[in-house]
Every structure is written in C-alpha cells, then in structure tokens.
C-alpha cells in the first residue's frame, strides 16, 4: 500500500512539473504577443491582455508552490521510508536468528524423541522446562521490584552497624576509664589504709594475696605472722620469727575459734 502511495505522489509531482513547463511556454508566448500588441493595439485591448497575463502568472506561482510542497513531502516520505527499511532489516535479521534457534531446538527435540521411548515423558520434560522459565521470570520480576527496597534496607543496616561500632567504642573507652579510676581509687585507699594501720597499731602489711582466699603477712615490731582467711573466716596463723610456745598456740587456737585475728595482733603487740 505504501508503494502505491509513493507512486501516486511521484506521478502527481511529474504531472505538476509538466504542467508548469507548459505554463512557462505559454507565458513566454503571450508576453511576446503583448509586446507586439502594445505597438499596434489601443489601450482597451492592451488592458485585457495584461489581466490575462497577470492571471497566468498567478496560476504559475501557485503551481510552483504546490510543486515545492509536493517535493518537500516526497523528501520527508523518502526519509521515513529509509528509516523503516533499516528497522525492517534489523527486525528481519532478528527473526532469522530466532528461526535458526527454533530449527536447532526442533532438531534437538527430534533427537530426544528418538532417544526417549515415550512422548508423554518428553511432554513432561517440556512442561517442567516451561514452568521453570515462568518461575525464573517471576523471580527476576520480584528481584527487580525489591532491589531498591533491599538497597535501602542494607544502607540502613550499615548505618546501624556503624552507629553500634561507635557506641561500643565509646562504651569500651568509658568502661576502661571507669575501671582505671576504680583501680586508682582502690590503690589510694589501700595505701592510706595500710599507712593508717601502721601509724595507729604499729602494724605493717608486707604481702596481700587473694589467689587462694586471703593471705596477709603482717610485721609487728620484729615479728612477722601470716594470716590465712577463707570465706571471711580465720583458718590458720603462722609465725616467722617468734618461737611458737604453748601460750602462742593457745592464743592462735582461741583466735581461730573466735574468728578474730585481732586477738593475735594484740597479743604480739603487747609482747613485742
């Protein structure tokens, strides 16, 4: 149908050019006659001829205008036709490729039909393949729909992780500072407490071990004793420099029963 339209337009254009040439010839012929008549005729005849020539000139200009319009339209149609031809060729090439693929698949199916005894089984395989393709397509659609949402969620998760790392770092720093401050306070308290004990009771704590309960080594004058305390109870007492006579043993035994190491300390302080 398009070829028919194109041929009709080209025919009209050709007819218009022929018609225009005829008018040009007639115009030249009439112009020559006008010049001749100007020399031999009166004014009335001359006016009539001039009007006819003016009309012929107007008709000629109109034909030229239409001819130019037809020529522009033919040019646009030619450009459009060229683009359609390119598109058609590209699509035709795609169809040829698809046709080749279909032929290859048909050959494979023929081989499968020969290798498998039952066509029903082959049909089941085809059906499974089709279902798999549908599922794959649906999966891709779902993935594409959720990609943006998942990206937003992942970004939020990463931001939360970064905030958590920052918080944990601050928490560790604060905990370390609190621990260091606490240990510093304990050390100061221990030094002040031992100094106070030494100043008031003339006791000097030499060793303080909590690995197995509580073990204190205390200097009292020239004597040194070791007090062993477990579960807040006095368990035993050893003397380093003092001879353990019966009186000392009785004092230690009494202090252990009373769970009061001060009894031993007072005894040694009074006898030092």
Alpha carbon of 139 to those of 20, 142, 148, 150, 170: distances in Å?
68, 5, 15, 15, 44
Whether the Cβ atoms of residue 269 and residue 202 lie closer than 8 Å to each other: yes
Which H helix or E strand runs over 226?
Answer: strand 223-230
Residue 251: CB atoms within 10 A of its CB come to 18
Q: What is the pLDDT of residue 2?
A: 45
Say how many Å lie between the first and final Cα of the chain, rounded.
Answer: 134
Q: What is the pLDDT of residue 1?
A: 45
Alpha carbon of 249 to those of 27, 84, 91, 264: distances in Å?
158, 121, 114, 10
Q: What is the pLDDT of residue 180?
A: 62
> For residues 219 and 226, what is the distance between their CA atoms, to the nearest angstrom?
9
Residue-wise pLDDT for 236-261, tens only, equals 888 776 555 667 778 888 888 888 87
Length of the chain: 272
Whether the Cβ atoms of residue 224 and residue 207 lie closer than 8 Å to each other: no
Q: What is the pLDDT of residue 132?
A: 59
Whether the Cβ atoms of residue 216 and residue 207 lie closer than 8 Å to each other: yes
264 exposed, middle or buried (CB, 10 Å; 0-12, 13-18, 19+)? buried
> For residues 241 and 262, what is the distance between their CA atoms, to the nearest angstrom?
19
Q: Which two tokens stand for residue 109?
A: 């199916």
> For residues 109 and 132, what is the distance between their CA atoms, to the nearest angstrom?
18
Global pTM reads 0.27
Whether the Cβ atoms of residue 30 and residue 53 lie closer than 8 Å to each other: yes
Q: What is the pLDDT of residue 6?
A: 45
- Per domain, the residue ranges of the chain are 2-107, 202-270
DSSP reduced 3-state for 188: helix
Return left, alpha or beta for 231; rule: phi > 0 is left, psi -120 to 50 is alpha, else beta: left
> For residues 13 and 74, what is the distance between their CA atoms, to the nearest angstrom?
9
**pLDDT tens series, the chain, 272 aa:** 444 444 566 666 677 767 666 766 766 777 666 666 665 555 455 555 556 656 666 666 676 676 666 667 667 666 776 776 676 677 667 667 766 766 677 677 666 666 655 555 656 666 766 665 666 566 556 555 555 545 555 565 566 566 656 655 655 565 566 556 656 665 666 566 666 655 655 555 655 655 556 677 777 767 777 878 777 788 888 877 655 566 777 888 888 888 887 787 777 767 65
């Amino acid at each position: 149908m398009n070829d028919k339209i194109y041929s009709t337009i080209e025919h009209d254009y050709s007819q218009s050019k022929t018609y225009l040439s005829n008018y040009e010839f007639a115009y030249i012929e009439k112009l020559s006659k006008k010049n001749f008549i100007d020399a031999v005729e009166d004014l009335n005849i001359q006016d009539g001829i001039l009007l006819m020539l003016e009309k012929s000139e107007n008709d000629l200009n109109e034909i030229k205008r239409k001819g130019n319009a037809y020529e522009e339209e033919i040019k646009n149609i030619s450009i459009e036709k060229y683009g359609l031809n390119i598109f058609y060729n590209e699509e035709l090439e795609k169809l040829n490729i698809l046709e080749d693929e279909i032929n290859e698949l048909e050959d494979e199916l023929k081989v499968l039909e020969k290798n498998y005894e039952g066509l029903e089984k082959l049909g089941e395989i085809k059906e499974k393949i089709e279902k798999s393709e549908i599922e794959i397509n649906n999966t891709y659609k779902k993935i594409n729909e959720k990609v943006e949402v998942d990206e937003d969620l992942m970004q939020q998760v990463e931001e939360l992780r970064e905030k958590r790392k920052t918080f944990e770092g601050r928490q560790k720093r604060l905990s370390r500072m609190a621990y260091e401050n606490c240990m510093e306070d304990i050390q100061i308290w221990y030094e002040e407490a031992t100094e106070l004990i030494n100043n008031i009771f003339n006791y000097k704590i030499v060793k303080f071990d909590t690995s197995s309960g509580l073990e204190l080594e205390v200097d009292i004058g020239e004597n040194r004793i070791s007090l062993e305390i477990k579960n807040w109870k006095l368990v035993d007492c050893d003397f380093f420099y003092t001879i353990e006579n019966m009186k000392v043993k009785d004092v230690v035994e009494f202090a252990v029963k009373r769970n009061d190491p001060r009894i031993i300390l007072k005894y040694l302080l009074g006898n030092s």
